[in-house]
Chain A
């Protein structure tokens, strides 16, 4: 372990759980400190979501930068990192995305050992269903791209899918199931544990995690960053990273930047806890529906965006109805499960559906945004690459195409092939 002068330190282990259990669990300490902001840091990360915390962690772990702070306007993990449906996968098609998500999945596979934290990463498999010959061809091509990238993919025919998930309605009139693309190394993880694990790891390395600290201004001098204004006073720093997901446009505007981002609402749903019934992640793209079962037993599912710009973090009823209908079409057996909760998150939608990890026109100001509805699986690699960018001032190899200017230059990464336009992803 690197320098850990200041952080709270306590290794977690099975032995510790047992001994603590014997003595009434009185010996656990908070997993991180709650420090007051200093007047100056070497670097500041704005935003204490998954990406911000991972950035801080890797700045300390990979680059030895420990005089840094994460500034979070609410509490750690209060944003999308604690609101998503936790799917982790590396099944992208385009060069630029493919190597990045592949890197991320490899980091996921070593994450718990690296963080000494149980993020409940579960490689239960992700099954994408297809419903026509054309879609089968495209999925075969995507599977080949995944294999070329060094990841795993298997094309299943209808009988192969039936053996795995016999309870689907294979003959539904509109989208009969032709088969599926199975990605066995894909799966899920416990979303807020990921934030907590990175927070604890960063804190142990001396990073100050400052909560209830909203950034209200970015200080510039001669085109360079000099620090930020916050609800807890001014803080100086020569390097500042904006990692605020759905709020990217507001924070970037503090430095005079306009972004290729429109914030949209995405909803998700969970039922009461049930006995294990859905063993993997199943996606039904044609119906705009995907589902998995959490370790607590709740069926966790969602669909598409509501499709209008929104910061409400809650959606409207038409999409609720649409998702329920799609779910019932695909797997009628879930019709008796009681829905417990629904919620929404603010998605930083980019025109081509791919993210940005790049410098900005302002010296010392970096941005990590545009995660759309897929930023959970990206957390480890995004933190890794953003830390690399902030520490070395050069883009990381696997994130080199996530440029802020790619829309102007035409180097878009349109994974879905629907066009580079805000309302199409």
Chain B
């Protein structure tokens, strides 16, 4: 399994730090009920098949990446930057 970072190109898995399902991007509002926080922090769809999860390119460009991939075959379909880099890509 390799990830093709939009900034660095195809890179070895060891350069990345796995964070978990992209649920992390949908943080509840500060005054949301406890159930929403439980859901956000702990409950997961945990799909067998296509998933979208967050990886940090720790030993590369230090960007957060949203990776669309298959949990059964380990095929990687798409890698997006979570946030556009400041000043745009040069």
Binding site for B on A (CB under 8 A): 247, 249-250, 258-263, 307-312, 316, 318, 351, 407-408, 420-423
Contacts and interface: CB of A to CB of B under 8 A. Distances in A.
Given A261-B44, A308-B53, A407-B38, 13 more contacts: A249-B46, A249-B48, A258-B44, A259-B44, A260-B42, A262-B21, A263-B71, A310-B71, A310-B74, A311-B71, A311-B72, A318-B14, A422-B20
A247 B72 CA distance: 12
B41 to A, nearest CB: 7
Contacts of B41: 351, 407, 420-421
- Point out which of A249, A262, A316 has the most chain B C-beta atoms below 10 A from its C-beta: A262
B74 A316 contact: yes
A311 B48 contact: yes
Contacts of B73: 312
Interface of B: 1, 12-14, 18-21, 34-35, 38-39, 41-48, 51, 53, 55, 71-74
B45 A249 contact: yes
A347 B38 CA distance: 22
| Chief secondary structure at chain A's binding surface | mixed
| 9 interchain residue pairs of minimum CB distance | A249-B46, A260-B42, A408-B38, A407-B42, A311-B48, A308-B18, A258-B43, A318-B14, A311-B71
A318 B74 CA distance: 14
| Chief secondary structure at chain B's binding surface | mixed
A260 B43 CA distance: 4
A311 B39 CA distance: 22
B82 to A, nearest CB: 16
Nearest to A249: B46
Contacts of B71: 263, 309-312
28 contacts: A247-B48, A249-B44, A250-B46, A258-B39, A259-B46, A260-B43, A261-B44, A261-B46, A262-B20, A262-B44, A307-B18, A309-B21, A309-B46, A310-B74, A312-B74, A316-B13, A316-B74, A318-B12, A318-B13, A351-B42, A407-B38, A407-B41, A407-B42, A408-B38, A420-B42, A422-B20, A422-B44, A423-B20
Contacts of B21: 262, 309, 422
Contacts of B53: 308-309
Contact of A423 (B1, B18, B38, B47): B18
Contacts of A247: 48
B12 to A, nearest CB: 7
A259 B43 CA distance: 5
A258 B20 CA distance: 16
A313 to B, nearest CB: 9
B38 A316 contact: no
A216 to B, nearest CB: 14
Contacts of A308: 18, 53, 55
A421 B35 CA distance: 16
A322 to B, nearest CB: 9
A210 B74 CA distance: 31
Nearest to A352: B42
A408 B35 CA distance: 7
A263 B53 CA distance: 13
Contacts of B43: 258-260
B71 to A, nearest CB: 5
Contacts of A258: 39, 43-45
A420 B48 CA distance: 23
B20 A316 contact: no
Nearest to B43: A258
Nearest to A314: B74
A250 B48 contact: yes
Contacts of A307: 18
Contacts of A408: 34-35, 38, 42
Nearest to B54: A423
A258 B23 CA distance: 13
Contacts of B34: 408
